[in-house]
Chain A
Amino acid sequence: MSTLLALDGVSKQYGSLMAVDGVTLGIERGARHALIGPNGAGKSTLFGLIAGTSATTAGTIALAGEDITRRSDSWRARVGVAKTFQHSSLFLSLSVADNIALAAQRLTGHGLRIRTRAAHCPGVAEEVERCLALVGLADRPQVRVSALSHGERRQLEVAVALATRPRLLLLDEPTAGMSAAESGRFVGLVESLPPDVTVLLIEHDLDVVFRLADRISVLHLGKLLADGTPEQVRADEVVQQAYLGSGAARELFLTSPGSP
């Protein structure tokens, strides 16, 4: 397997605070890679740096061998980096279908077309239908997003990201706020993604992590604490020590059901 995403000494400094501190990490093509760590470990910040919504203060980020450190978020999106947001970031006054269509029509090149009617974009309606079906919102295409429940918004968030047909999919706590059923469906969805889609996932639900991930990185206080297969990480003493601070997390961590 080759490396799709390579982080080298990536750092983000806010004043005197190192939110992300010299993270060097490679994500394999097609991996299901989970990023875990306590709150404030810098996971979401790292996602922002990878997606390009904020700039690194040091280090380089390469996608498929190309340095993208200084590229804008929209440029990265066009080469296949998609991100879902921890707090849903959607188009509230538009319908569910239009939210996905916005992602789809950028891909089909209709985003700037004035003579193409929104309702008749070739290829867009099919893509909308496909993504809605994937996340289980197929019966609600015309509902306004502002009328969706929290869990439904999380699902739509994933659908919008999928509609960009990403090479690298960054999922920031996708199951937060989902019901157990929704969460289960989500795991199925990620499992059903084409194997060439690389998934990097921030997740607090270790159930989900161990069902999905074939590789886990642990972030603590902005630093990469451990990186390896689920078994390696589970056995890592440094990781166990880092989690000792919060007993509950440790327990969850050690007693979670076996990996797939």
Chain B
Amino acid sequence: MAAPVSAGTRLQPQPLDPPARLRWYGVVVVALAFVPFVAPADVAATATRILALALLAVSLDLLVGVGGMPSLGQAAPFGVGVYAAGLTARELTPFAPVQVLVAVAAGALLSALLGWLVVRSRGTYLLMLSLALAELVHTLAGKWDALTGGTNGLVGVPALTFAPGGEPVRLAGLVYWWVLAVAVVGFLVVVVVSRSAFGRSLRGIRDNEARMSSLGYSTFRVKYTAFVISGAVAGLAGALWMAQTRFASPEDLGFHVSAFALLAVVIGGRGSLWGAVLGAALVGVIRDEFGPQLGGRGPLLLGIAFIAAVYLLPHGFAGLRLRRARTQGHP
């Protein structure tokens, strides 16, 4: 240790100064924008779905990593967003921005309802409650035939358009760019929330809720707001999923979606938003690329990944970077 002052700062990765961070974001986004030029259409389609799941993971990380609310039910606002976008496209307009707005509203509304119950609990109880509520929403989607098409799923969703009454967009690359652009906006929204004064309050609650209360905060309001924002972003991710798949099934609200997002968050490192994106990419590629090769043993792989992540990566990728910095005596 060089000086006592650096003792504490070394325990966390050095935050990049804002311009450097922005440059990095820019580089990543530009690199991602090139995917359709270099990859075949089916890869672009996979990449589109992974982008949607990455945004879902980021929305969950706001709850789990920043807010300390370990939700097992993030599939609920996501799936509701998928259905809302699909229904909007089929019944109202395929104009893409409208689908996005409706899905965001639907995700926020659902989270506002569920959050009223979930946010009052903490720890194991919150895990259990969020899971139970999300699964009930899942069951509902399968039963409410008139609205959701039941277990057959929501079919007949038209391709999105970039102008009201315009040409349907069918090129996988164009859909990809649209999804990338919206996902970047969604990601930045979460970054802004996380870095805001509100985000600091949320971290305070994660660390020590009782103390926040004794500082005069209404911790329910802070947590509830975060829950609704997270649900809105998850709904947005659902709209992006629908933009590519043009199909919704009750499984989009299922536990496996929540588990997937949670694994992405854990692998990426809780509280690290870029880590969640990276985790989602990794888990998505493993599931979509290697899963089929194993003869549909995707869940097995997912399960092993969970066990391995818990034992081997307690702090995710972000933790690895931190450990390396420590062993190298990084300033």
Instruction: Kindly identify which residue among A83, A105, A144 contacts B11, using a CB–CB cutoff of 8 Å.
Output: A144
Task: Classify chain B's interface size.
Answer: 20 to 34
Question: Per-position contact with A for B1-33: 1 when CB-CB < 8 Å, else 0?
Answer: 000010111011000000000000000000000
A selection of 28 A-B contacts at a CB cut-off of 8 Å is: A53-B210, A74-B215, A75-B216, A77-B215, A77-B216, A78-B216, A85-B211, A89-B210, A90-B208, A91-B204, A93-B203, A94-B200, A98-B200, A102-B212, A106-B215, A110-B197, A111-B201, A111-B217, A113-B196, A114-B229, A115-B196, A117-B192, A119-B195, A121-B197, A143-B7, A144-B11, A147-B11, A164-B215
Given contacts A92-B208, A98-B200, A102-B200, contact A73 B213 (CB under 8 A): yes
Q: Does chain B have a CB within 8 A of A17?
A: no
Given contacts A74-B216, A74-B217, A77-B214, contact A144 B12 (CB under 8 A): yes
Question: Per-position contact with B for A119-151: 1 when CB-CB < 8 Å, else 0?
Answer: 101001000000000000001101111111000
- B196 near A116 with CB under 8 A, answer yes
Given contacts A112-B201, A117-B196, contact A147 B216 (CB under 8 A): no
Q: Is the interface of B mostly helix, strand, loop or mixed?
A: helix
A142: chain B residues at CB < 8 Å are: 8-9
Q: Using A74-B219, A94-B203, A94-B207 as known contacts, list a sample of 11 further A-B pairs with CB atoms less than 8 Å apart, ordered by residue number in A.
A: A72-B213, A77-B213, A89-B208, A89-B210, A90-B207, A91-B204, A102-B201, A112-B225, A114-B193, A118-B197, A143-B7
Among A114, A121, A164: residue with most chain B CB under 10 A: A114
Interface residues in B188-239 by Cβ distance below 8 A to A read: 192-193, 195-201, 203-204, 206-208, 210-219, 221-222, 225, 229
Q: Does chain B have a CB within 8 A of A160?
A: yes
Given contacts A74-B217, A106-B215, A112-B222, contact A118 B200 (CB under 8 A): yes
A164: chain B residues at CB < 8 Å are: 215-216
Who on chain A is nearest to B9 by CB? Answer: A142
- B208 near A117 with CB under 8 A, answer no
Q: How far is the CA of A114 from the CA of B204 in the complex (A)?
A: 15
A92: chain B residues at CB < 8 Å are: 207-208
- A146 near B203 with CB under 8 A, answer no
Q: How far is the CA of A68 from the CA of B24 in the complex (A)?
A: 52
B200: chain A residues at CB < 8 Å are: 94, 98, 101-102, 105, 118
Give the shortest distance, in Å, between A84 (CB) and chain B (any CB): 10
Q: How far is the CA of A106 from the CA of B213 in the complex (A)?
A: 11
The 5 closest A-B pairs by CB, nearest first: A147-B8, A143-B8, A77-B216, A91-B207, A110-B197
Instruction: Kindly identify which residue among A90, A114, A118, A147 contacts B7, using a CB–CB cutoff of 8 Å.
Output: A147
Interface residues in B32-72 by Cβ distance below 8 A to A read: none
Who on chain A is nearest to B206 by CB? Answer: A93
Q: Does chain B have a CB within 8 A of A212?
A: no
Q: How far is the CA of A73 from the CA of B197 in the complex (A)?
A: 22
B206: chain A residues at CB < 8 Å are: 93
Q: How far is the CA of A12 from the CA of B157 in the complex (A)?
A: 64
Who on chain B is nearest to A120 by CB? Answer: B197
Q: How far is the CA of A194 from the CA of B199 in the complex (A)?
A: 32
Give the shortest distance, in Å, between B141 (CB) and chain A (any CB): 31
Q: How far is the CA of A92 from the CA of B7 in the complex (A)?
A: 15
Q: Which residues of B contact A (CB under 8 A)?
A: 5, 7-9, 11-12, 192-193, 195-201, 203-204, 206-208, 210-219, 221-222, 225, 229
A148: chain B residues at CB < 8 Å are: 8
Give the shortest distance, in Å, between B149 (CB) and chain A (any CB): 36
Q: How far is the CA of A93 from the CA of B9 in the complex (A)?
A: 11
Q: How far is the CA of A146 from the CA of B214 in the complex (A)?
A: 20
- A117 near B195 with CB under 8 A, answer yes
- A90 near B195 with CB under 8 A, answer no
Q: How far is the CA of A147 from the CA of B8 in the complex (A)?
A: 5
Given contacts A89-B211, A93-B203, A114-B193, contact A106 B9 (CB under 8 A): no
B193: chain A residues at CB < 8 Å are: 114
- B12 near A94 with CB under 8 A, answer no
- A139 near B5 with CB under 8 A, answer yes
B201: chain A residues at CB < 8 Å are: 102, 105-106, 111-112
B12: chain A residues at CB < 8 Å are: 144
B225: chain A residues at CB < 8 Å are: 112
Instruction: Kindly identify which residue among A52, A91, A114, A118 contacts B208, using a CB–CB cutoff of 8 Å.
Output: A91
- B11 near A146 with CB under 8 A, answer yes
Q: How far is the CA of A145 from the CA of B221 in the complex (A)?
A: 26
Q: Does chain B have a CB within 8 A of A218?
A: no
Q: How far is the CA of A208 from the CA of B227 in the complex (A)?
A: 46
A85: chain B residues at CB < 8 Å are: 211
Among B12, B213, B215, B229: residue with most chain A CB under 10 A: B215
Who on chain A is nearest to B214 by CB? Answer: A73
Among A90, A98, A118, A119: residue with most chain B CB under 10 A: A118
Q: Does chain B have a CB within 8 A of A63?
A: no
Who on chain B is nearest to A75 by CB? Answer: B216
Q: How far is the CA of A40 from the CA of B113 in the complex (A)?
A: 45
Who on chain B is nearest to A119 by CB? Answer: B195
Q: How far is the CA of A205 from the CA of B225 in the complex (A)?
A: 44
Instruction: Kindly identify which residue among B199, B210, B212, B221 contacts A118, using a CB–CB cutoff of 8 Å.
Output: B199
Who on chain A is nearest to B222 by CB? Answer: A112
